Amino acid sequence: MSDNKKFSGTIKKIFTSVGKLLTFNITTIMFGALLLYMIITVVLYATSDHVTSYQVTAGPLSKNPVCTALALRSEEIVTAESSGYIEYYATEGMEVRQAGSVYSIASEKQDNEPVTLSDDQIEEVRSSAEQFSYAYNSNNFYDTYSYKYQIRGTILQAAKETEDSVEAAGGSSDTADREETSAGTDDDSDAVAGNTADKVISVGNQDVYTAPEAGIVVYSSDGYEEKTADTLTENDFNQMSYQKENLITGGKIEKGDSVYKLITSENWTLMVPLTDKMAASLAGRESIQVKFVKDGESQNGSLSIINVGDQKVAQIELVNGMTRYAEDRFLEVELVINTQSGLKIPVSSIVEKEFYTVPREFLTLGDNGNSQGFIRETSSGDGDSTEFVEAAIYRQVDSQGNEITAETQDDSGGLCYVDMDTLNEGDVLLKPDSGKIFTVGKKDNLQGVYNINQGYAVFRQIKILDQNEEYCIVDQGTSYGLRAFDYIVRDGSSVSEEEILYSGSN
């Protein structure tokens, strides 16, 4: 009995040992195979040629320069004719006609009366406040004071419109009493409205002063009012030393104090300091488009390059749009130099590929009416026959070498560029419905890049619109061309067409 147990134990140990051995061997084999695969992959990657890819983007060749421009205008400072307490009638940036009421001076401080506005007028004030809040810059805190009086003038003007409408409807006894006690005649009322050319009109205990000529009212001064392009100095462009004085006051003013500034012409000038490189890029231009960063508006102006001391400056003459920026001496502007837009690619990616050129008159459609190609003559045991060869047409040009467009598609003459893998040199092509033949053999080159979206190099044709030393802009929508966000080989000379590539980062 004991011998049987001993034999059974021995057999069990043998099977256990075999099982452990097989398990160990299978695990080892699987691990070894995985390790070998990894080694082979690393060796292949290390010994393969790598290319750097570039993702095609759409846009201009380079960004337009954004510069700080100094604005010059036809400006004059208007001073107080007498001493007293001032009330403002015109708001900041308001256009006034000649003899339009701007402000009044009284010997005593005037009490403010409650004003009732309509819902529309309240909405106008609220909208104006939202716009000011959106554009507010803490570096120009003095604008807050100007805006305070602008809002006050807007409210007073709205109140006057309400009062005028009441008078038109028959008026009230209170209004009539005010008219009788305002030391006024009909002539005086017209004077306040700006219907006389007199500079000052007495109304009650106030002297109302009018604009000497039509213009835009601005309640600040900075010492640049009399400067011209000929009198500027290099230091005038230094914003660190620029100081702007707010002319609005709620107290008493003295005779001869500056009250407001009047801009009398819509024509104005932007003076833009330039680097030597920018000056060279603008040389020869007589006009330029300017885009204002403040509000995104653009306009064209005449351009000339002058010297202010040792500084080259672009002098841009503008004939409109000044009103929007009447309060600004320095403006951030974008000089729109690069107007050509397309697909941006590196110059290093450009390669040339050879194509057969075939007269366009030999191009025809296949039996399905969709595919393009040629009728090629073939030889067989039964004699000469023909076959239709579908072809990829990379480019078509007219007899003058210009690209075929939808408008010139039906014009006769010209050539088409055919991939050399489609036809063979010496092939004889037949013109449809004609006995005319053409023997394939003439070649020409097209510029392009290698597209690697699928992991191998594919030639894509390009049409260069503009270029500099590093990049170029190519046309969008070219047949067998590029699209935005395609990946191409940055160095086109480093690969061959249809080569499988390991792509690096951009």
Does the pLDDT value for residue 500 go beyond 80? no
Q: What is the pLDDT of residue 124?
A: 76
Which among 491, 497, 490 has a CA at the least distance from the CA of 54?
490
Least confident stretch, 39-53, 111-125, 228-242, 473-487: 111-125
Least confident stretch, 43-47, 149-153, 215-219: 149-153
CB atoms inside a 10 Å sphere around CB 304: 13
Question: Residue 172 — very low, low, confident or very high, per pLDDT cuts 50/70/90?
Answer: very low
Q: ∠ CA 361-362-368 to the nearest 5 degrees?
A: 110
pTM value is 0.60
Does the pLDDT value for residue 412 go beyond 90? no
Does the pLDDT value for residue 362 go beyond 50? yes
Q: What is the pLDDT of residue 188?
A: 39
Q: What is the pLDDT of residue 22?
A: 53
Q: Tell me the three-class secondary structure of 331-345, residue by residue.
A: EEEEEECCCCEEEEE
In three-state secondary structure terms, 213 is: coil
Q: What residues contact 326, with CB distance under 8 A and at least 6 apart? A: 73, 93, 216, 218, 263
Question: Residue 178 — very low, low, confident or very high, per pLDDT cuts 50/70/90?
Answer: very low
Which among 435, 432, 429, 463 has a CA at the least distance from the CA of 358?
429
- The whole-chain average pLDDT of the chain stands at 81
- Judge contact between 314 and 439, C-beta under 8 A: no
Least confident stretch, 14-18, 445-449, 463-467, 491-495: 14-18
pLDDT digits (tens, 9 = 90+) for 226-250: 999 999 999 999 999 898 888 888 7
pLDDT digits (tens, 9 = 90+) for 298-336: 999 999 999 999 999 999 999 988 989 998 999 999 998
State in Å, rounded, how far the first CA of the chain is from the last one. Answer: 80
- Judge contact between 429 and 374, C-beta under 8 A: yes
Does the pLDDT value for residue 291 go beyond 90? yes
Q: What is the pLDDT of residue 182?
A: 36
Q: What is the pLDDT of residue 3?
A: 61
Least confident stretch, 115-124, 127-136, 152-161, 172-181: 172-181
CB atoms inside a 10 Å sphere around CB 278: 18
pLDDT digits (tens, 9 = 90+) for 375-400: 999 876 565 788 999 998 999 998 88
Residue corresponding to tokens 């009103």: 323
Which among 394, 305, 328 has a CA at the least distance from the CA of 355?
394
